[in-house]
Structure 1
């Protein structure tokens, strides 16, 4: 009797993994996500939390992460002014587990940068 083991659809799995790595691995994106995992922030607060990022690049990355459904922009009114805060969506918050595991892995295997 021959037993056939069904293999997962590797091209589909690899394609999804590749896309996820491109989104999270794009320069600045993981730092933006890391900061927003801690707390929602206004644009200036977010920019000031990430050393070296320009306004233009931050705007571009926030737009991309919003299109991916990872970040959302929330607007509210306070004292007659519109306040915009960036926060993670449920999809973005779900990255917490991955970032925790990545921190553990880095603590174990990555030497500090000089």
Structure 2
């Protein structure tokens, strides 16, 4: 199931599954692929590497300052990024959804990103 907002729906689904007696903590998780894609893209641009070769962990929630890209853990490593670069990339990642909405001149949300999420899910299921 793909649903938004992930911050709210994962705990809700967990409670529903618990009441139904089918809850398995190893099979329920929330993924904010949009935030990962934003962080990878912004990092790759600044580090001058291919996005396809970047591994970027992002933890936290899926709203503003709750999104925490772990640029220090990104691979490939880049020594070209200053502390100011990291701060700017973090802020941009945290506001990535807003950036998409603004680029659409307020005529929609980031829902088109769900196609990318589905690609990730299909790839993960096949491995």
Greater strand share, structure number = 1
What TM-score do you get using the length of structure 1 for normalisation? 0.29
What TM-score do you get using the length of structure 2 for normalisation? 0.27
